[in-house]
Structures are given as structure tokens and as C-alpha cells.
A and B are shown apart, each in its own frame.
Chain A
Amino acid sequence: MSSLPAEPGFTPLLETSFAVMSSECPEAYQRICQLLAGDEVGITIDAESLSVRFEAGQAVVLRTPQQPTVHVAATKQTLLDLIDARYTLEHAITRDLLHVRGKMNELIRFYEAVQLYIHGAVRCPSFPDLLSDYRYRN
């Protein structure tokens, strides 16, 4: 079983979640890395900024973004609302709750990668505890 993030926040959650997924659902993890190989995705959740650089077979979380080509920004509450199906992805984007920026082909690839990430997440037995920890900390 995985260890839980030692500190609150989105960055350790994402780091741990990739480590868990590579072990518990390697198919999804490898497909994400393959799809986004060479890309860097910048993420801002509330005041926390990070990025993920995808290399051959590996997702590397960077605490200081370098040159992301796709940018995503939302609040923790928006993430939880999407996970809890309080509204749809389309609603979040059109109501400015979720901001995405990038070239169209990069955004399409990123959307496919997000779908793969969720497919992987729901197959990992360790994910519910990770999410619960993120949900109830702070």
C-alpha cells in the first residue's frame, strides 16, 4: 500500500497519485506518459503552482514550473465539485471555474490524458484514501 502525502496540498497529492498509479494501474500511467511525452503541463490550484513534465514512461512533478505549454487553473473546491459531479466539466469551463489555456491540439491531447488519469484513478485501490486525505485536510 502507498504512504499518504506527508504535507497537505495538491502537489504532494499529485506526486503520490502518479507513484500509486504506476504501481496499481500501470496501463493508464504508461498511456498518459506516452500521450504527453515531451509536454509540460502547468497547474495552479488556489495559490499553489506546479507543473508536470512528461518523459518517456515517467511523469515528473516540478514544484517550480519551467516551460509549460498547457496551463490549467482552478480552486480545490472546483476539483472536489467535479469529482462529486456537482457540475460537469463543460459547466466548469464555461462558468470560468476551470481555466485551460494552450494550443488546440495540445488541449485535445491534455483532455485525453485527463480522461486516462481518471480511468487509472478509479482502478487504484489506494486512491480513495488519497482523495479523502486531500478532501479533509485544511
Chain B
Amino acid sequence: MIDDLYRTIVVTDHFRYPGIDHPHPDWYKEWHHFAIIAPDVQLILNFSVCRDTRPTVPPGTLLGRMVLLVRDASGWDGDVDTFQPYEVELTTGRIDLCMGHNRVTFGSDGFSISAALENRPVTVRLQLVPVVYPIMRRRTSIGEGSISWLAIPRLVVQGEVTIGRRVYRLAGASAYHDHNWGNWLWGHDFSWHWGYALPETPDNPWSLIFDHLMTGTRNHRLELRLAIWKDAILQRLFLHGEIETHQQGFFQRREIRKFPRIMTLIAPQTTTDVPRVLSIHAASKDDYLNCVFEAQDVVQIAIPNETNLGVTIINEVSGLLTTEGRIKGESVAIAGSGFFEFLTC
């Protein structure tokens, strides 16, 4: 990894807990999220912490949660494991988090991840090397709180994923990483569409991220961005009025896997409001991009609302993103797999 990129990540991607002074410290949340796209296996991995608000625990105590979802020819597998405060070790100011026997750290050789689910035969050992500089955004208002985020659109992965007796060796697969932190409650008035794509050919220099934060009813925009990198460097950031989006149809599946699995009992519906096709057009002066995301599969992470007894669904949609355009006088062409997140509140 480039020394400067390593140093940039060390000083920007570290754990923030307990964050800034906030009138609602109990709303604090923070996570490191990774997605890996290899030809024969895809993986979503999320390490999150939140405040434990039980009356009997000391203030500032953290609960941990690990989402580990894998998809291969057999479909989606995985689980969401939870960790009591005594199982969570987080080092503020560093990228170093342990939850039980699971760990994510960062060093000069990139992110090291070791994880194994409690009740499913899924284990991963991964080394993820960032090859692109991160983008960061601080304190976007969502609901009655705020969220900050950092994202790295492309990392190169080495390692091993084991699902039952199937072992996948990853050598040079592509990955995406983001880090979110802030104070808000699930159930507040917000939703998001968030996506990225990784080119099928590793020598394609372009990477991109799309984010669209909205109110829960999606009729008011809080943040809209489309960022594109060439090689390691951010080339163009389209904002708000420079971007138009258009949705076609709804993506339908006969069965949708939900995690944690128990949420299937209280959110059994198989309909979604995920668009079948999402088109994004961004233009400013001579630069423009046309992106088309076509949904191919969906898995749902169901989060109990903290404001009521409802549920927020994060639709993790895998699909194909094709992009064409022109940036700084150069033609852009990306065709590759990606994930888009669509929140249903």
C-alpha cells in the first residue's frame, strides 16, 4: 500500500467512540462495513457497536453486533451475532475492534479480518488492501440526529471464505469499505439509497460511489452525491442539483432471506420497494456520467426501530452497474457488479 494512503486511512478511518459531545450520547452508533465481490462468492461483513442502555449497566457501555452474510451458488447464508459488553474491545483512535473471537484491525498491510459465526458454519480470514483514497463526509443531519461517514470504493482482497465444506480462496478479488458513526435512532425520519460498483476487469481504473440520504418518506433530499475516482485519486464529485435519478419498476423475488433470521417471523413479507432499475445521470460543465443499476438479487437486514415497535429494512441488493461518461476529457466506461442499499422504513 502507498505510504501516504496508509497514513491517510490511519488518521481518518479510526474508531470515534464516544464521538463528539451530543445531547443524546445514548444514540451513539458506529460501524465498519465491508463488501467483497469475487466471481464465485460475495460477502457482506459489518462490525457495529452501539450504547447499551440497560438500566443496570454503567453509562458508556457498548454492545457489539456482527453481520456476516455470504452468497454463492447455494444462495445466501450467514447470520447476525450479538456481543455483550464484556466481549467487546474497541480502541478509540485506532482501527482495532474485537468482538468475541472476531477481529478487525488495520496496519501497513491493510485491513485484517478474522470472523466466524456462532450458529452457522461460516468463517472468513481476509486481508484487504485499500488502493483508492477515501472520501469523508461529516455530520449530515438524519432525523433528529446526525451521521458521519467515510468510504473507500476499492480494495484488493486476499484470503479465505469457508461456507460449510465449501472453501473459497480469494486472490485479488475486489472489495468496498465504509465507516459510519454518529448519534441517531433507527426509526427516525430518514432513509438512504447507497451504492457502488467494482469493474469486472481489475485494470479498469475507475471506481464510483453513489449516496442519497432522504427523509423517511423519500420526498425530501438530505444529501445526494456521486463520486468517481481514477486509480487512487478522486476525480469528480457531483452534488445535489447536478444529479438526477430515475427508478423503473419494482424488484420481485419469490423468497427473500432476512437476517437476523428471527426477523422473518415479524417481517415475513416478500414484496419490496426496491427498484428493478435505478438510473443516475450526473452532469456539470463538460463532465457527465450515466449510470444504470439493474437489481439481480436481494437479501434483507431487518433492524428493530428504537423509536417504536416497527422495523427498518436494509435491502442489500446485488446487481450490475454500467456507467459511461466523460470526466476531465477522458471517456469513462465501467461494467461490473455492485451492491446498492435501499432502506425501507
Contact = CB atoms under 8 A, between A and B. Distances in A.
Contact of A128 (B82, B257, B261, B263): B82
Contacts of B60: none
SS class, residues of chain A in contact with chain B: helix
Interface stretch (B49-57, B236-244, B275-283): B49-57
A122 B261 contact: no
A84 B304 CA distance: 17
Given A83-B261, A116-B309, A119-B304, A125 B54 contact: yes
Nearest to A80: B119
Interface residues of A, number: 26
A82 B262 CA distance: 7
A128 B63 CA distance: 12
B54 A122 contact: no
**Which of A31, A83, A135 has most chain B Cβ within 10 Å?**
A83
A123 B54 contact: no
Contact of A118 (B56, B63, B266): B266
**Which of A1, A89, A129 has most chain B Cβ within 10 Å?**
A1
Given A1-B54, A125-B84, A129-B84, A85 B304 contact: no
B177 interface: no
Interface in A10-34: 23-24, 27-28, 31
A118 B309 contact: no
Contacts of B306: 123
Contact of A82 (B55, B119, B258, B265): B265
Contacts of B290: none
A125 B82 contact: yes
Interface string A59-75: 00000000000000000
A89 B265 contact: yes
Contacts of B257: 85
B54 A85 contact: no
Interface in B50-96: 52, 54-57, 63, 82, 84
A118 B82 contact: no
Interface of A: 1, 23-24, 27-28, 31, 82-85, 88-89, 115-116, 118-123, 125-126, 128-129, 132, 135
Q: 10 closest Cβ contacts across the A-B interface?
A: A85-B261, A85-B264, A128-B82, A119-B309, A122-B304, A118-B266, A123-B304, A83-B262, A84-B261, A118-B265
Interface of B: 52, 54-57, 63, 82, 84, 118-119, 257-258, 260-266, 268, 304, 306, 309
